[in-house]
Amino acid sequence: MALAAGRAMLMRSGVRLGTQAAARGGNGARRFMNHRVVVEPNTVPGVAVIKFKNPPVNSLTLEFLTEFVICLEKLENDKTFRGVVLTSDCPGIFSAGLDLREMCGKNPAHYAEYWRAVQEMWLKVYLSNLVLVAAINGTSPAGGCLIALSCDYRVLADNPRYRMGLNETLLGLVVPFWFKDTLVNTIGHRASERALQLGLLFPPAEALQLGMVDQVVPEDQVQSTALSVMTQWLAIPDHVRQLTKNMIRKATADHLIKHQEADIQNFINFISRDSIQKSLQVYLENLKQKKH
Ligand SMILES: CCCCC/C=C\C/C=C\C/C=C/C(=O)SCCNC(=O)CCNC(=O)[C@H](O)C(C)(C)COP(=O)(O)OP(=O)(O)OC[C@H]1O[C@@H](n2cnc3c(N)ncnc32)[C@H](O)[C@@H]1OP(=O)(O)O
Protein backbone atom coordinates (compact mmCIF):
# COMPACT_ATOMS: atom_id res chain seq x y z
CA MET A 1 0.00 0.00 0.00
CA ALA A 2 2.69 2.50 1.03
CA LEU A 3 4.79 1.26 -1.86
CA ALA A 4 1.96 1.94 -4.31
CA ALA A 5 1.39 5.38 -2.80
CA GLY A 6 5.11 6.02 -3.00
CA ARG A 7 5.25 5.02 -6.63
CA ALA A 8 2.34 7.33 -7.39
CA MET A 9 4.11 10.09 -5.50
CA LEU A 10 7.30 9.50 -7.47
CA MET A 11 5.38 9.65 -10.73
CA ARG A 12 3.67 12.87 -9.68
CA SER A 13 7.00 14.42 -8.80
CA GLY A 14 8.50 13.36 -12.11
CA VAL A 15 10.86 10.68 -10.84
CA ARG A 16 11.07 7.66 -13.11
CA LEU A 17 11.26 4.33 -11.33
CA GLY A 18 12.77 2.88 -14.48
CA THR A 19 15.99 4.70 -13.71
CA GLN A 20 16.68 2.40 -10.77
CA ALA A 21 19.72 0.34 -11.63
CA ALA A 22 21.14 -2.88 -10.25
CA ALA A 23 24.86 -3.57 -10.50
CA ARG A 24 27.39 -5.91 -8.97
CA GLY A 25 29.88 -4.48 -6.52
CA GLY A 26 33.48 -5.64 -6.08
CA ASN A 27 32.52 -8.47 -3.72
CA GLY A 28 29.85 -9.69 -6.13
CA ALA A 29 27.10 -8.23 -3.95
CA ARG A 30 24.08 -6.82 -5.66
CA ARG A 31 23.88 -3.07 -5.29
CA PHE A 32 20.60 -1.22 -5.84
CA MET A 33 20.88 2.38 -6.87
CA ASN A 34 18.24 5.05 -6.96
CA HIS A 35 18.99 8.69 -7.50
CA ARG A 36 19.16 9.67 -3.88
CA VAL A 37 19.35 6.49 -1.83
CA VAL A 38 21.92 3.77 -2.41
CA VAL A 39 21.35 0.32 -0.95
CA GLU A 40 24.33 -1.97 -0.55
CA PRO A 41 24.20 -5.51 0.82
CA ASN A 42 27.11 -5.87 3.18
CA THR A 43 29.64 -8.47 4.20
CA VAL A 44 27.51 -9.17 7.28
CA PRO A 45 24.90 -11.68 6.10
CA GLY A 46 21.35 -10.34 6.14
CA VAL A 47 22.46 -6.72 6.55
CA ALA A 48 22.11 -3.91 4.01
CA VAL A 49 23.64 -0.46 4.19
CA ILE A 50 21.47 2.44 3.06
CA LYS A 51 23.47 5.50 2.08
CA PHE A 52 21.70 8.83 1.82
CA LYS A 53 22.90 10.51 -1.35
CA ASN A 54 20.97 13.71 -1.83
CA PRO A 55 23.72 16.35 -2.12
CA PRO A 56 24.66 18.86 -1.01
CA VAL A 57 23.20 18.21 2.47
CA ASN A 58 20.82 15.21 2.29
CA SER A 59 17.82 17.42 2.90
CA LEU A 60 14.59 15.44 3.03
CA THR A 61 12.96 16.41 -0.26
CA LEU A 62 9.73 14.76 -1.38
CA GLU A 63 11.66 12.63 -3.88
CA PHE A 64 14.20 11.59 -1.28
CA LEU A 65 11.52 10.62 1.24
CA THR A 66 9.72 8.58 -1.38
CA GLU A 67 12.83 6.72 -2.49
CA PHE A 68 13.84 6.09 1.10
CA VAL A 69 10.46 4.59 2.02
CA ILE A 70 10.42 2.43 -1.10
CA CYS A 71 13.94 1.16 -0.33
CA LEU A 72 13.01 0.25 3.24
CA GLU A 73 9.84 -1.43 2.09
CA LYS A 74 11.74 -3.49 -0.47
CA LEU A 75 14.25 -4.60 2.14
CA GLU A 76 11.48 -5.49 4.59
CA ASN A 77 9.77 -7.58 1.93
CA ASP A 78 13.01 -9.35 0.99
CA LYS A 79 13.40 -12.02 3.64
CA THR A 80 17.17 -12.21 3.09
CA PHE A 81 17.50 -8.92 5.00
CA ARG A 82 17.11 -8.66 8.78
CA GLY A 83 18.97 -5.44 9.51
CA VAL A 84 19.87 -2.14 7.89
CA VAL A 85 22.55 0.43 8.68
CA LEU A 86 21.56 3.98 7.77
CA THR A 87 24.41 6.31 6.89
CA SER A 88 25.32 9.20 4.62
CA ASP A 89 27.21 9.50 1.39
CA CYS A 90 27.56 13.31 1.83
CA PRO A 91 30.77 14.15 3.70
CA GLY A 92 30.18 15.67 7.11
CA ILE A 93 26.38 15.66 6.90
CA PHE A 94 24.06 12.84 7.91
CA SER A 95 20.99 14.86 6.93
CA ALA A 96 20.14 18.57 7.12
CA GLY A 97 16.57 17.62 7.98
CA LEU A 98 13.39 18.58 6.18
CA ASP A 99 13.96 20.42 2.94
CA LEU A 100 13.16 24.04 3.69
CA ARG A 101 12.31 24.72 0.07
CA GLU A 102 9.49 22.15 0.26
CA MET A 103 7.97 24.28 3.02
CA CYS A 104 8.49 27.70 1.43
CA GLY A 105 6.34 29.47 -1.15
CA LYS A 106 4.30 26.40 -2.12
CA ASN A 107 0.53 25.81 -2.13
CA PRO A 108 -1.55 23.93 0.47
CA ALA A 109 -1.81 20.82 -1.75
CA HIS A 110 1.96 20.63 -1.90
CA TYR A 111 2.30 21.11 1.86
CA ALA A 112 -0.23 18.30 2.41
CA GLU A 113 1.61 15.94 0.08
CA TYR A 114 4.96 16.79 1.60
CA TRP A 115 3.81 16.44 5.20
CA ARG A 116 2.16 13.08 4.49
CA ALA A 117 5.47 11.89 3.02
CA VAL A 118 7.31 13.02 6.17
CA GLN A 119 4.76 11.21 8.36
CA GLU A 120 4.94 8.03 6.25
CA MET A 121 8.73 8.04 6.37
CA TRP A 122 8.72 8.34 10.16
CA LEU A 123 6.13 5.58 10.62
CA LYS A 124 8.10 3.30 8.29
CA VAL A 125 11.38 3.86 10.13
CA TYR A 126 9.95 3.93 13.64
CA LEU A 127 7.92 0.73 13.24
CA SER A 128 10.29 -1.16 10.96
CA ASN A 129 10.52 -4.91 11.51
CA LEU A 130 14.18 -4.68 10.56
CA VAL A 131 16.90 -3.82 13.04
CA LEU A 132 17.89 -0.27 12.13
CA VAL A 133 21.25 1.09 13.24
CA ALA A 134 22.13 4.71 12.49
CA ALA A 135 25.79 5.24 11.57
CA ILE A 136 25.75 9.01 12.00
CA ASN A 137 28.73 10.29 10.06
CA GLY A 138 27.85 13.96 10.11
CA THR A 139 25.67 16.76 11.37
CA SER A 140 22.00 15.86 11.84
CA PRO A 141 19.62 18.65 12.82
CA ALA A 142 15.83 18.37 13.13
CA GLY A 143 14.42 15.85 10.61
CA GLY A 144 17.89 14.29 10.25
CA CYS A 145 18.02 13.78 13.99
CA LEU A 146 14.48 12.36 13.90
CA ILE A 147 15.58 9.62 11.50
CA ALA A 148 18.47 8.68 13.77
CA LEU A 149 16.29 8.77 16.90
CA SER A 150 13.82 6.43 15.21
CA CYS A 151 16.45 3.73 14.70
CA ASP A 152 17.10 1.00 17.27
CA TYR A 153 20.70 2.07 17.96
CA ARG A 154 22.83 5.10 17.20
CA VAL A 155 26.58 5.33 16.59
CA LEU A 156 27.92 8.88 16.16
CA ALA A 157 31.26 9.99 14.74
CA ASP A 158 33.49 11.67 17.29
CA ASN A 159 33.91 14.94 15.44
CA PRO A 160 33.31 18.11 17.50
CA ARG A 161 32.00 19.90 14.40
CA TYR A 162 29.03 17.51 14.17
CA ARG A 163 25.83 18.55 15.88
CA MET A 164 22.66 16.65 16.58
CA GLY A 165 19.29 17.74 17.94
CA LEU A 166 15.84 19.13 17.23
CA ASN A 167 16.50 22.81 16.49
CA GLU A 168 13.03 23.72 15.16
CA THR A 169 12.53 26.68 17.51
CA LEU A 170 15.65 28.32 16.03
CA LEU A 171 13.84 28.35 12.69
CA GLY A 172 10.69 29.83 14.27
CA LEU A 173 8.93 26.45 14.05
CA VAL A 174 7.04 24.45 16.64
CA VAL A 175 8.32 20.91 16.85
CA PRO A 176 5.64 18.40 15.70
CA PHE A 177 4.29 16.32 18.62
CA TRP A 178 5.61 13.05 17.21
CA PHE A 179 9.13 14.48 16.82
CA LYS A 180 8.82 15.50 20.49
CA ASP A 181 7.51 12.06 21.50
CA THR A 182 10.43 10.38 19.75
CA LEU A 183 12.92 12.56 21.61
CA VAL A 184 11.19 12.15 24.99
CA ASN A 185 11.20 8.37 24.51
CA THR A 186 14.95 8.54 23.95
CA ILE A 187 16.34 11.10 26.41
CA GLY A 188 13.47 11.60 28.86
CA HIS A 189 11.10 14.41 29.72
CA ARG A 190 13.25 16.98 31.48
CA ALA A 191 16.15 16.82 29.05
CA SER A 192 13.66 17.13 26.16
CA GLU A 193 11.97 20.18 27.70
CA ARG A 194 15.26 22.04 27.68
CA ALA A 195 16.56 20.70 24.37
CA LEU A 196 13.34 21.43 22.47
CA GLN A 197 12.56 24.87 23.84
CA LEU A 198 16.11 26.09 23.28
CA GLY A 199 16.46 24.22 19.96
CA LEU A 200 19.76 22.78 21.18
CA LEU A 201 22.17 21.05 18.81
CA PHE A 202 24.58 18.86 20.75
CA PRO A 203 28.19 17.93 19.96
CA PRO A 204 29.02 14.19 20.25
CA ALA A 205 30.15 14.12 23.89
CA GLU A 206 26.96 15.85 25.07
CA ALA A 207 24.73 13.76 22.79
CA LEU A 208 26.26 10.66 24.37
CA GLN A 209 25.86 11.96 27.89
CA LEU A 210 22.18 12.72 27.25
CA GLY A 211 21.55 9.28 25.75
CA MET A 212 20.69 10.82 22.38
CA VAL A 213 23.24 8.40 20.89
CA ASP A 214 24.43 5.04 22.23
CA GLN A 215 28.09 5.22 21.20
CA VAL A 216 30.58 7.80 19.98
CA VAL A 217 33.49 6.36 18.02
CA PRO A 218 36.31 7.65 15.80
CA GLU A 219 34.95 8.83 12.48
CA ASP A 220 36.56 6.03 10.46
CA GLN A 221 34.95 3.38 12.68
CA VAL A 222 31.33 4.51 12.53
CA GLN A 223 30.16 2.02 9.92
CA SER A 224 32.21 -0.92 11.21
CA THR A 225 30.92 -0.29 14.75
CA ALA A 226 27.35 -0.13 13.47
CA LEU A 227 27.86 -3.48 11.72
CA SER A 228 29.29 -5.16 14.80
CA VAL A 229 26.42 -3.80 16.95
CA MET A 230 24.07 -5.20 14.33
CA THR A 231 25.53 -8.69 14.80
CA GLN A 232 24.64 -8.48 18.49
CA TRP A 233 21.05 -7.43 17.73
CA LEU A 234 20.64 -10.14 15.11
CA ALA A 235 21.54 -12.80 17.67
CA ILE A 236 17.99 -12.32 19.02
CA PRO A 237 15.28 -14.22 17.10
CA ASP A 238 13.38 -11.80 14.86
CA HIS A 239 9.87 -12.59 16.02
CA VAL A 240 10.48 -11.95 19.74
CA ARG A 241 12.54 -8.85 19.06
CA GLN A 242 9.92 -7.49 16.64
CA LEU A 243 7.05 -8.11 19.06
CA THR A 244 9.01 -6.43 21.84
CA LYS A 245 9.86 -3.42 19.65
CA ASN A 246 6.25 -3.10 18.59
CA MET A 247 5.03 -3.31 22.18
CA ILE A 248 7.34 -0.45 23.16
CA ARG A 249 6.73 1.79 20.13
CA LYS A 250 3.10 1.14 19.19
CA ALA A 251 1.47 3.74 21.45
CA THR A 252 3.73 6.52 20.13
CA ALA A 253 3.09 5.58 16.50
CA ASP A 254 -0.64 5.13 17.10
CA HIS A 255 -0.83 8.65 18.45
CA LEU A 256 0.19 9.99 15.05
CA ILE A 257 -1.83 7.41 13.07
CA LYS A 258 -4.96 8.40 14.97
CA HIS A 259 -4.38 12.11 14.34
CA GLN A 260 -2.67 11.91 10.96
CA GLU A 261 -5.17 14.02 8.98
CA ALA A 262 -5.46 16.65 11.73
CA ASP A 263 -1.67 16.81 11.91
CA ILE A 264 -1.51 17.49 8.16
CA GLN A 265 -4.10 20.24 8.48
CA ASN A 266 -2.22 21.77 11.44
CA PHE A 267 0.97 21.73 9.42
CA ILE A 268 -0.69 23.43 6.44
CA ASN A 269 -2.24 26.12 8.62
CA PHE A 270 0.99 26.73 10.49
CA ILE A 271 3.41 26.71 7.59
CA SER A 272 1.16 28.90 5.41
CA ARG A 273 1.23 31.77 7.89
CA ASP A 274 2.98 34.84 6.51
CA SER A 275 5.11 35.14 9.65
CA ILE A 276 6.33 31.52 9.34
CA GLN A 277 7.04 31.90 5.64
CA LYS A 278 9.07 35.02 6.40
CA SER A 279 11.05 33.22 9.13
CA LEU A 280 11.90 30.37 6.77
CA GLN A 281 12.96 32.74 4.02
CA VAL A 282 15.20 34.65 6.43
CA TYR A 283 16.69 31.37 7.68
CA LEU A 284 17.44 30.23 4.12
CA GLU A 285 18.88 33.65 3.30
CA ASN A 286 21.13 33.42 6.37
CA LEU A 287 22.39 30.01 5.23
CA LYS A 288 23.38 31.63 1.92
CA GLN A 289 24.93 34.69 3.62
CA LYS A 290 27.21 32.67 5.87
CA LYS A 291 29.11 31.57 2.76
CA HIS A 292 30.17 35.11 1.96
C1 LIG B 1 1.31 24.17 15.92
C2 LIG B 1 1.32 23.07 14.91
C3 LIG B 1 2.73 22.71 14.52
C4 LIG B 1 2.72 21.76 13.39
C5 LIG B 1 4.11 21.54 12.89
C6 LIG B 1 4.54 22.67 12.08
C7 LIG B 1 5.75 22.92 11.68
C8 LIG B 1 6.94 22.10 11.93
C9 LIG B 1 7.55 21.81 10.66
C10 LIG B 1 8.66 21.20 10.45
C11 LIG B 1 9.65 20.70 11.39
C12 LIG B 1 10.97 20.94 10.78
C13 LIG B 1 11.92 20.04 10.71
C14 LIG B 1 13.17 20.29 9.98
O15 LIG B 1 13.90 19.38 9.72
S16 LIG B 1 13.53 21.89 9.47
C17 LIG B 1 15.18 21.83 8.81
C18 LIG B 1 16.20 22.04 9.90
N19 LIG B 1 17.52 22.01 9.35
C20 LIG B 1 18.45 22.92 9.61
O21 LIG B 1 18.25 23.84 10.38
C22 LIG B 1 19.76 22.77 8.89
C23 LIG B 1 20.05 23.95 8.03
N24 LIG B 1 21.32 23.77 7.36
C25 LIG B 1 22.51 23.96 7.96
O26 LIG B 1 22.62 24.27 9.12
C27 LIG B 1 23.72 23.75 7.13
O28 LIG B 1 23.34 23.81 5.77
C29 LIG B 1 24.44 22.42 7.36
C30 LIG B 1 23.50 21.22 7.29
C31 LIG B 1 25.13 22.46 8.75
C32 LIG B 1 25.54 22.24 6.27
O33 LIG B 1 26.37 23.37 6.25
P34 LIG B 1 27.34 23.60 5.00
O35 LIG B 1 28.14 24.83 5.31
O36 LIG B 1 28.08 22.35 4.70
O37 LIG B 1 26.36 23.82 3.76
P38 LIG B 1 25.50 25.12 3.43
O39 LIG B 1 24.92 25.71 4.66
O40 LIG B 1 26.31 26.02 2.56
O41 LIG B 1 24.31 24.48 2.59
C42 LIG B 1 24.50 24.02 1.26
C43 LIG B 1 23.20 24.28 0.51
O44 LIG B 1 22.17 23.49 1.07
C45 LIG B 1 21.08 24.33 1.44
N46 LIG B 1 20.43 23.76 2.62
C47 LIG B 1 20.96 23.51 3.82
N48 LIG B 1 20.06 22.96 4.64
C49 LIG B 1 18.92 22.87 3.94
C50 LIG B 1 17.62 22.39 4.24
N51 LIG B 1 17.30 21.85 5.42
N52 LIG B 1 16.68 22.45 3.29
C53 LIG B 1 16.95 22.95 2.07
N54 LIG B 1 18.18 23.42 1.72
C55 LIG B 1 19.15 23.37 2.65
C56 LIG B 1 21.71 25.67 1.71
O57 LIG B 1 20.77 26.68 1.64
C58 LIG B 1 22.74 25.72 0.61
O59 LIG B 1 22.06 26.06 -0.58
P60 LIG B 1 22.72 27.01 -1.68
O61 LIG B 1 21.69 27.13 -2.75
O62 LIG B 1 23.01 28.31 -0.99
O63 LIG B 1 23.98 26.30 -2.12
Residues 210 and 187: beta-carbon distance below 8 Å? yes
For residue 34, what pLDDT is reported?
65
CB-side neighbour CA atoms (13 Å) of 2 = 22
Is 98 part of the annotated catalytic residue set?
Answer: yes
For residue 292, what pLDDT is reported?
59
CA distance 225 to 44: 12
Is 143 part of the annotated catalytic residue set?
Answer: yes
Cα of 97 to ligand 1 centre, how many Å? 6
Residues with CB under 6 A from ligand 1: 56-57, 59, 93, 96-101, 139, 141-143, 167-168, 171, 173-174, 176, 266-267, 270-271, 284, 287-288, 291
ipTM for the predicted complex: 0.98
Is 167 part of the annotated catalytic residue set?
Answer: yes
User: What's the full length of the chain, in residues?
Assistant: 292
pTM: 0.92
63, containing H or E segment: helix 62-77
Query: What is the mean pLDDT for each group of 10 consecutive residues in the chain (292 residues)?
Result: 45 34 40 77 89 98 98 96 98 98 98 98 98 98 99 98 98 97 98 98 98 98 97 97 98 98 98 97 93 64
SS (H, E, C) 72-138: HHHHHHCCCCCEEEEEECCCEECCCCECHHHHCCCCHHHHHHHHHHHHHHHHHHHCCCCEEEEEECE
